[in-house]
């Protein structure tokens, strides 16, 4: 191993690999390696310029016990930035220390001696490069030792039951309802970003931790050390960016359903809300309001004067957001020009098709700057110039017909090498030109590391309307917040509903609605079956042919449910100033609005095990009800005094308590100051 001190960076070369470790932010290091002549220079998620650091770099020799029992001197080096130090031995294995305590070490089972407690015959190395035949990229695997004490959190959104990801195997792939944001917070006091948008996998096994990229030119990860998750997240968002200011006029109720088919339907709903004395901050116009996918305009048969509609909604103080999909149907007026100019995703084999829902479609290549310009110009003319306030960027993974990532190619890279970054660039088609006119709030179904910078409200996708799914969404939202994405929401009641009149569904809807009041974005949406509403048109295209769901307004589920919804609507309104403070905190520190218990109480070991309750900011402890016909539940209270909001009774912390949870009440405790 040959070491070199480059002032701000430690360079190490061995066996055709160049390793570069440099200071990058507060108590943090960026680690890159390549087998190519040079690094790509891509920053990926590390878009914020860190303050200049003066790391301490040492190159020295250390003892190494060889097989015959003798000792040899071998080269080693270290780089320290604040509280984090990386030590590289002669084989290129990196160990990371927080305040001189080992917190992470690359896995190595190739030689004996001090490098491995395992077999020297296994020939496992810490960084495994396998060249992709016929190309310059590699399939890369990076391994780290496991620690039985360790818990992992973050990583974005995965549809599963576990908040603690220790033992989890997670595909680094974007899919409908799955969001890969490869930043993890360890209970040992460090945060780790896999700074690579390649399709791959993360495994937090009992025997080792492993990260893979199926196609990449270099290894790139970032690590920071701190005392608690709050400080780790602050360090992470220092270098990846934070959410901008969230406008006050969108902190209340958003109204949506699948789907308002005409402009008159939209206006009737808005007028009814006004008559009921309930203010909605934003109304959402969902998909297939267009002639065909990729036209990116209203079908004038059913939306004859969208500007007049927008003007009337604005006069009521209601913002308007409209759905835009990245799919372009071959029948679209934009398909020919975009295909001719190379603005669509390319397929490696067979016909040009990436998506097949309700049409033969190819999706836009958002990595191409000309594509971004083309799509924005069309949407600006047909939506934004009419007064539309924001965009619902659905299918933003993108939602491929088949998730065969090796079949698709983008502007300058194969999908295998960068597809996880797609939703971020899709959001920037709109965010970049819109930000000049003020706050941008767009709704997306997917995100990647750093997406918080681009005005993205991320929702959890097309999830089932079940109590099991409800429980999974809370785990997903808490881990999204720990991955740096504070603007997160769900479809209240879940997306896929078979029967709106089913009492079990309506009970679920109320429980989900109560949770949504104590979350970042308060948004009604869902596909409400059964599908017995006839279409407006017999054609197989246009704004009138596709199905619609049943009504999804607050009054749509009977008087008793409406009473409960109005009660919680008022609670949301009363919390406006507090919610504003939480959004400001997210912009200043990166803290999420919904928080794991250990985020606020890291010194309490019990809080590291809780996943059925959470903190809404630092003041409210929320305990959703996750089971049908459950009308009481147990809640753990950390140290301090806590006031139950239903009765005003004050409880001493440090204990578990059982409280009543009738259908019209979700247990919430307010921390006594």
pLDDT beyond 50 at 114:
no
DSSP classification of residue 226: -
Q: Which of 79-93, 102-116, 196-210, 647-661 has the lowest mean pLDDT?
A: 102-116
The tens digit of pLDDT for each residue in 236-256 reads: 999 999 999 999 999 999 999
CA atoms of 309 and 267, how far apart (whole Å): 7
Measured over the CA atoms of residue 298, residue 300, residue 303 and residue 304, the dihedral's sign is positive
Nearest to 598 by CA among 163, 204, 194, 179: 163
pLDDT beyond 50 at 492:
yes
pLDDT computed for residue 69 by the predictor: 75
Average pLDDT over residues 429-442: 97
Residues 6+ apart with CB under 8 A from 663: 507, 510, 564, 631
Residue tagged active-site, from 462, 537, 573, 585:
462
pLDDT beyond 80 at 15:
yes
Nearest to 334 by CA among 368, 300, 290: 290
Residues 6+ apart with CB under 8 A from 37: none
Domain boundaries in the chain? 2-240, 325-440, 596-671
Residues 6+ apart with CB under 8 A from 606: 636, 638
Residue tagged active-site, from 218, 394, 399, 472:
394
Average pLDDT over residues 413-435: 98
Average pLDDT over residues 260-280: 98
Q: In the CATH scheme, what is the code of domain 2-240?
A: 2.60.40.1760
pTM: 0.97
Average pLDDT over residues 485-513: 98
Q: Which of 110-114, 145-149, 536-540, 581-585 has the lowest mean pLDDT?
A: 110-114
The tens digit of pLDDT for each residue in 590-635 reads: 999 999 999 999 999 999 999 999 999 999 999 999 999 999 999 9
Residues 6+ apart with CB under 8 A from 377: none
pLDDT beyond 70 at 345:
yes
DSSP letters spanning 564-633 = HHHHHHHHHHHTHHHHHHHHHHHHHH---SEE-HHHH-TT-GGGGG--S-EEETTTEEE----STT--EE
Angle of helix 229-240 relative to helix 576-589, nearest 10 degrees, comes to 70
Please state, for a pLDDT cut of 90, what percent of the chain lies above it: 94
Average pLDDT over residues 531-552: 93
Residue tagged active-site, from 137, 145, 299, 397:
397
What is the rounded average pLDDT for all residues in the chain?
96
Residue 30's beta-bridge partner residues?
A: 22, 222
Q: Are 139 and 213 in contact (CB under 8 A)?
A: yes
Confidence band of 70 (pLDDT split at 50, 70, 90) = confident
Q: What is the C-alpha R_g of the chain? A: 26
Average pLDDT over residues 404-431: 98
The tens digit of pLDDT for each residue in 221-233 reads: 999 999 999 999 9
Domain 2-240 and domain 596-671, same fold? Reply is yes
Active site (annotated) includes residue 462: yes
Nearest to 293 by CA among 364, 380, 397: 364
The tens digit of pLDDT for each residue in 447-482 reads: 999 999 999 999 999 999 999 999 999 999 999 999
Active site (annotated) includes residue 397: yes
pLDDT beyond 50 at 185:
yes
Average pLDDT over residues 498-503: 97
Query: Which of 85 and 8 is assigned the larger pLDDT?
Result: 85
pLDDT beyond 50 at 220:
yes
pLDDT computed for residue 64 by the predictor: 81
Distance of CA 529 to the CA centre of its chain: 28
With the CA atoms of 341, 346, 348 and 350 taken in that order, what torsion angle do they form, in degrees rounded to the nearest 10? -90
Angle of helix 369-382 relative to helix 422-434, nearest 10 degrees, comes to 50
Q: Are 607 and 615 in contact (CB under 8 A)?
A: no
Question: Residue 192 class from Cβ within 10 Å (0-12 exposed, 13-18 middle, 19+ buried)?
Answer: buried
Active site (annotated) includes residue 404: no
Confidence band of 351 (pLDDT split at 50, 70, 90) = very high
> Peptide bond before 259: cis, by omega within 30 degrees of 0?
yes
Nearest to 249 by CA among 317, 195, 300, 307: 317
The kind and range of the H/E element at 417 are helix 415-418
pLDDT computed for residue 154 by the predictor: 98
Average pLDDT over residues 5-23: 96
CA atoms of 407 and 415, how far apart (whole Å): 8
pLDDT beyond 50 at 50:
yes
At the topology level, CATH places domain 596-671 in Immunoglobulin-like (2.60.40)
Average pLDDT over residues 357-367: 97
């Amino acid at each position: 191993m040959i070491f070199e001190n480059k002032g701000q960076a430690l360079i190490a070369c061995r066996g055709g690999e160049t390793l570069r470790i440099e200071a990058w932010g507060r108590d943090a290091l960026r680690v890159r390696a390549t087998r190519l002549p040079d690094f790509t220079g891509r920053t990926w998620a590390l878009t914020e310029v860190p303050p200049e650091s003066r790391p301490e770099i040492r190159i020295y020799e250390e003892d190494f016990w060889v097989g015959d029992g003798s000792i040899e001197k071998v080269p080693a080096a270290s780089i320290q930035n604040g509280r984090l130090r990386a030590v590289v031995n002669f084989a290129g294995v990196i160990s990371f220390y927080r305040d001189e305590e080992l917190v992470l070490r690359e896995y190595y089972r190739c030689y004996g001696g001090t490098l491995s407690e395992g077999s020297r015959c296994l020939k496992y190395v810490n960084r495994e490069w396998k060249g992709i035949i016929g190309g310059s990229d590699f399939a890369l695997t990076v391994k780290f030792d496991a620690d039985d004490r360790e818990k992992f959190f973050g990583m974005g959104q995965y549809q599963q039951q576990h908040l603690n990801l220790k033992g989890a195997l997670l595909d680094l792939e974007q899919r409908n309802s799955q969001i890969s944001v490869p930043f993890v917070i360890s209970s040992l006091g460090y945060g780790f970003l896999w700074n690579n948008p390649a399709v791959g996998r993360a495994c937090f096994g009992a025997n080792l931790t492993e990260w893979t990229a199926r196609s990449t030119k270099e290894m790139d990860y970032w690590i920071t050390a701190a005392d608690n998750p709050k400080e780790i997240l602050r360090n992470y968002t220092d270098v990846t960016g934070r959410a901008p200011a969230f406008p006050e006029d969108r902190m209340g109720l958003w109204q949506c359903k699948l789907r308002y088919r005409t402009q008159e339907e939209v206006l009737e709903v808005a007028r009814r809300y006004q008559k009921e004395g309930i203010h909605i901050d934003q109304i959402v116009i969902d998909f297939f309001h267009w002639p065909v996918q990729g036209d990116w305009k209203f079908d004038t048969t059913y939306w004859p004067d969208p500007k007049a509609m927008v003007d009337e909604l604005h006069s009521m103080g209601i913002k308007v957001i409209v759905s835009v999909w990245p799919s372009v149907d071959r029948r679209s007026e934009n398909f020919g020009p975009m295909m001719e100019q190379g603005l669509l995703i390319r397929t490696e084999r067979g016909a040009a098709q990436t998506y097949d829902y309700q049409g033969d479609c190819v999706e836009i290549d958002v990595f191409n700057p000309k594509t971004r310009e083309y799509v924005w110009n069309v949407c600006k003319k047909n939506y934004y110039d009419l007064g539309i306030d924001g965009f619902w960027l659905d299918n933003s993974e993108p939602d491929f017909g088949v998730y065969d990532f090796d079949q698709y190619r983008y502007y300058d890279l194969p999908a295998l090498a960068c597809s996880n970054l797609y939703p971020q660039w899709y959001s920037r088609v709109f965010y970049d030109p819109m930000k000049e006119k003020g706050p941008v709030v767009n709704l997306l179904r997917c995100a990647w590391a750093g997406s918080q910078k681009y005005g993205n409200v991320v929702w959890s996708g097309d999830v089932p309307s079940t109590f099991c799914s409800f429980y999974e969404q809370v785990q997903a939202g808490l881990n999204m917040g720990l991955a740096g994405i504070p603007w997160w929401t769900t479809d209240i009641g879940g997306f896929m509903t078979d029967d709106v009149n089913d009492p079990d569904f309506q009970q679920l809807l109320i429980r989900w609605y109560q949770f949504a009041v104590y979350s970042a974005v308060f948004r009604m949406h869902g596909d409400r079956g059964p599908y017995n509403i006839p279409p407006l048109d017999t054609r197989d295209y246009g704004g009138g042919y596709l199905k619609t769901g049943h009504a999804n307004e607050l009054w749509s589920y009977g008087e008793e449910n409406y009473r409960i919804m109005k009660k919680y609507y008022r609670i949301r309104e009363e919390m406006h100033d507090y919610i504003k403070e939480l959004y400001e905190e997210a912009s200043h520190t990166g803290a999420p609005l919904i928080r794991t218990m250990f985020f606020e109480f890291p010194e309490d070991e019990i809080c590291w095990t809780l996943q059925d309750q959470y903190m809404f900011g630092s003041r409210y402890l929320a305990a959703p009800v996750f089971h049908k016909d459950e009308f009481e539940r147990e809640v753990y209270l950390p140290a301090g005094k806590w006031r139950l909001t239903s009765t005003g009774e004050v409880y001493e912390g440090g204990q578990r308590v059982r409280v009543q949870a009738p259908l019209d009440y979700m247990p919430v405790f307010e921390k006594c100051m």
